[in-house]
Amino acid sequence: MQTFRTAAAMSGWAALVILAGLCTAPYVAGDAIDWDAMSSPGSIKYSGDGTYYGQQSGQDDGAVCGFGKRFANTLGAEWSTGVQTFVAMNRPQYNNSEACGQCIMYRGTGAGLGMLPIPSEWQMGMVTNVCPECAYGSIDLDKEGDGRWKVEWYPVPCDVGSGTFKYYFGGQANPYWFMFGISNTRYPIAELKLRSFDGSFYSLARGWNNMWAANGGPFSFPLVIQVTSVLGDTVTDTIQSTSGGDAKAQFPKRALTGPAATPASGPASAPASGDTAITAGGRRLLRA
Ligand SMILES: *[C@@H]1O[C@H](CO)[C@@H](O)[C@H](O)[C@H]1NC(C)=O
């Protein structure tokens, strides 16, 4: 009520702006995920439904972000320290794969229906997939479970340690066309540019499957790329061949600023069944 009274005292235009703000979700500041929140973890929380999709009769082992088992064969690997669960992000916040590789802290709030509640301790998840039918704020967990539970979550940097990007190629690369993905990023990628033969850089198109496609060519390796994170940091690196592999680059670590920079209860120990969690998830296969 207070808000409406205040609004009525202002000019019509200001009141309209405030009312429009009230009608949208409380957390949104323009981006599908508020990336600034990664400098101040916990400052912005999203909420929605949490569901489970894991352990469906072994069709897809990669999930749509394409990381697959390539570099994520154990959840204890350097690039995913602390990650306990892979997560399918709702479609609006997946944003055509921009959210791939994003780490999040999530927990159940206790409300919901089903046999296996999502625990109320904070856990770390990593976005490796999309949940097309999930509403804004909702996440689908790549693990066995039952029910639909209210969850809250917020974005955090991935704990990549001293690890660098990893490159992997898809399809049949040739001198005129190739497609590749990048995993093990501290923050998600917003833009990727390739250096062309005349020295200029141009943006590559990103697919729903988190792959970057280059066509036109002819291309020759080594290739120089510029990768920009969702926080705006740009790093330059060289891909030696279509074998992919380890990079030299990683996004610089940003200082944490928020009062809630350390969640009250951080990630617990990694689950014993890491590999199983990754191999699950048949119905998410949406590869082009
Ligand atoms: C979706 O991703 C693109 C590419 O990274 C970005 O430019 C755009 O701002 C994002 N949209 C939202 C709503 O976050």
pLDDT top residue among 61 and 41: 41
> Ligand 1 pocket check: which of 94, 98, 102, 206 to mutate, most ligand atoms within 8 Å of Cβ?
98
- Answer whether 0.85 is exceeded by the pTM: no
CA of residue 259 to ligand 1 center, whole Å: 27
89 lines ligand 1 (CB under 6 A): no
Q: HEC states along the chain?
A: CHHHHHHHHCCHHHHHHHHHHHHCCCCCCCCCCCHHHHHCCCCCCEEEEEEECCCCCCCCCCCCCCCCCCCCCCCCCHHHECCCEEEEEEHHHHCCCCCCCCEEEEEEEEEEEEEECCCCCCEEEEEEEEECCCCCCCEEECCCCEEEEEEEEEEECCECCCCCCEEEEEEEEECCEEEEEEECCCCCEEEEEEECCCCCEEECEECCCCCEEEECCCCCCCEEEEEEECCCCEEEEEECCCCCEECCCCCCCCCCCCCCCCCCCCCCCCCCCHHHHHHCCHHHCCCC
190 C-beta closer than 6 A to ligand 1: yes
Residue bearing the CA closest to ligand 1, atom 8: 31
Average pLDDT, the chain: 76
Cα-only R_g, the chain: 20
With beta carbons less than 8 A apart as the criterion, state whether 236 and 199 touch.
Answer: no
- Is 275 near ligand 1, meaning CB less than 6 Å away? no
Please tell me the distance between residue 121's alpha carbon and the centre of ligand 1 in angstroms.
Answer: 30
CA distance 256 to 133: 33
Ligand 1 atom closest to Cα of 92? 13
Tell me if the bond preceding 271 is cis, omega within 30° of 0.
Answer: no
Measured from the CB, is residue 32 less than 6 Å from ligand 1?
yes
Rounded-to-integer distance, Cα 72 and Cα 257, Å: 29
Distance (Å, rounded) from C-alpha 126 to C-alpha 87? 6
Centroid of ligand 1 to alpha carbon of 47 (angstroms)? 20
pLDDT of residue 92: 96
Q: Does residue 109 contact residue 148 with C-beta atoms inside 8 Å? A: no
Side-chain half-sphere CA neighbours of 143 within 13 A: 19
Domains and CATH numbers, the chain: 30-156 (2.40.40.10)
pLDDT at position 84, please?
Answer: 85
Write the residue with the smallest CA distance to atom 1 of ligand 1. 95
In this structure, the residue with its CA closest to atom 9 of ligand 1 is: 31
pLDDT at residue 266 above 80?
no
What is the distance in A from the centroid of ligand 1 to the CA of 99? 9
- Residues whose CB falls within 8 Å of the CB of residue 225, separated by 6 or more in sequence, listed in order: 192, 193, 194, 195, 236, 237, 238, 239
Using one digit for the tens of pLDDT, what is the confidence trace for 138-153? 999 988 889 999 999 9
Of 12-16, 143-147, 161-165, 235-239, the range with the lowest mean pLDDT is: 12-16
Q: 65-77 b/e with 16+ CB inside 10 Å = b? A: bbbbeebbeebeb
- For residue range 64-86, what is the model confidence (pLDDT) as tens digits? 888 765 444 344 444 567 888 88
228 lines ligand 1 (CB under 6 A): no
CB of 98 within 6 A of ligand 1: the answer is yes
Ligand 1, residue 230: give the atom nearest the CA: 5
Higher pLDDT, 240 or 41: 240
Residue 268: CB atoms within 10 A of its CB come to 13
Ligand 1 mean position to 31 CA, how many Å?
6
